[in-house]
Structure 1
Amino acid sequence: MSEASRDQVPGEEYDQAPPTRPEREERHQGGFWHAVREVLGIAATALVISFVIKTFLAQAFWIPSGSMEDTLVYGDRVMVSKIQAGAMEVERGDIVVFEDPGDWLPHMVPVDRGPVMDVVMKGLQFVGVAPVSEGNHLIKRVIGVGGDHVVCCDDQGRLSVNGQPLEEDYLYPGDVPSTVDFDVTVPEDSIWVMGDHRSNSRDSRAHDDGTGATGAVPRDHVVGQAFVLLFPLDHATWFSRPSTFEAVPEP
């Protein structure tokens, strides 16, 4: 390129010497660490968002038993909305996760994954990335809310709420509504819960003294409502409130 043609090109970049090899390496390293900082920043932000969601909005849980078959089976992962544990309270027919109200669960020996993986899994569960699978949580279906009169069974073997017999299509095939008779009034600010696999579920029936007081779960123990089955993917589905309870009158 001649001096004349060079002068026609705007800018002063031609007057600058090309960077030396050490300078190029320094710029390359600087770009690498900048990218690393960006990735770490994005990861930290994602963890914070996940923690906030898990604390206030939703959390994943792992199903540890067959008490909710066939609706939920062992190993399923569900997402639980925590909104229903606050302003939007749970209703009859909802599937809820709740904390053990008192010796419902046997003592569980934690799974030993090794010192490193134990710390990693606890950290992931804490921020909400990994589903909660151990501890003092249970999952059942809400049959009655505070003030409801829940009775089983009538002449046709059905469970009734406030005098309305229920046609429970969600029950495990071959199961009856209950093999144990009961007649309880659910205390205020509590819920009466039962598993869909009635013959394989230690629920409100198994822990009640006949009054409804000891078998009911206090509302402040409710973590939230299960609203979607996440895993396995071929069974993923949204949960909706069954029509079973639509005709139930208020107490």
Structure 2
Amino acid sequence: MGATGRADDGRGRLGARLSSVAVAIGCVLFLGGFAWGAVLYRPYTVPTGSMTPTVNAGDKVLAQRVDGGDVRRGDVVVFTDTQWGDMPMVKRVVGTGGDKIVCCGKDGRLTVNGIPIDEPYLRSSGRASGEDFTAEVPKGQLFLLGDDRTVSLDSRVHLSDATHGSVPRGAVQARVDAVAWPLGSMIDRPEAFAALPGGVSSAGPLKLQLTAMAVGVVLILGGAVYGPLAARSSRPKRSTQPKAAAGVR
């Protein structure tokens, strides 16, 4: 075998190795990201339109499994409370233990401990609630409202209960991070609650998991395509020079 043939063969083996490594790394990233997401996240179907326009009835959301103690104001949570019904509900946390919730102020906004809250996520741009109310949230409890205040059956409906419309932190099953279907959008943390004690919760690792899976797919496909191309390019090329006729010098 000539030097050119050996060089081509070496390039072919190198291409095959690189292809195998890319596919292997891609599989690790894709399967690792998928498994990580399966452990931390759980899909839910939103049962009502009370959280429109953030999430609509029938939307498929991805919610991170969290402890109720990690929930902050502004979080959209999935919870179950027998006083509210038997099925999981999706609402937004606007108050935590010790908060005084008042609506509506002179400008029509919700106030938490006297601080007006901008709520750009509301469906209506008018008053934060059609009816005025005041509630003091007991320790260890959460005050929950829907984003469509005109139809939402939320803490306002249960104000006469012993817990003033709140639910225990332990009732929270998960925190919604994204709408998986049909929009595929992330749920942002409202900036208005950041100035209050405790701030807002940190974003979950969903973006990182999706990025790992996407990179994994690219590496798998790229490696699968590169291997055959490298092998083909390393094959010896046929000589195009015509052979001399026998007996001719």
Using structure 1 for the length normalisation, give the TM-score: 0.61
Pick the aligned partner of 1:236 from 184, 191, 194: 184
**Whole-Å separation in 1 of the counterparts to 2:126 and 2:140:** 29
Q: Show CA shifts across 1:153-201 (max 9, x none).
A: 1111111001100111000034531112111111111100000000010
Pick the aligned partner of 2:74 from 88, 93, 109: 93
2:58 is equivalent to residue 75 of structure 1: yes
Alignment of 1:54-203 (within 5 A): 57-82=40-65, 84-85=66-67, 89-102=70-83, 104-105=84-85, 136-203=87-154
Pick the aligned partner of 1:218 from 151, 168, 181: 168
RMSD, matched Cα: 2.3
Q: Show CA shifts across 1:34-79 (max 9, x none).
A: xxxxxxxxxxxx9xx98x976x632110011110001111111001
Find the residue that maps to 1:237 and give its secondary structure. Answer: coil
Q: Is the 8 A contact 1:153 1:159 kept in 2?
A: yes
1:72/1:179 CA distance change after superposition, 3 Å: same
Unaligned runs of 5+ in 1: 1-45, 106-134
Higher relative contact order (CA 8 A, sep 6+): 2
**Whole-Å separation in 2 of the counterparts to 1:208 and 1:101:** 15
Q: How many residues align?
A: 166
Q: Is the 8 A contact 2:61 2:181 kept in 1?
A: yes
**Whole-Å separation in 2 of the counterparts to 1:188 and 1:81:** 24
**Whole-Å separation in 1 of the counterparts to 2:112 and 2:96:** 10
1:67/1:160 CA distance change after superposition, 3 Å: same
**Whole-Å separation in 1 of the counterparts to 2:164 and 2:46:** 24
**Whole-Å separation in 2 of the counterparts to 1:214 and 1:168:** 22
**Whole-Å separation in 2 of the counterparts to 1:201 and 1:161:** 19
Find the residue that maps to 1:97 and give its secondary structure. Answer: strand
Find the residue that maps to 1:150 and give its secondary structure. Answer: strand
Using structure 2 for the length normalisation, give the TM-score: 0.61
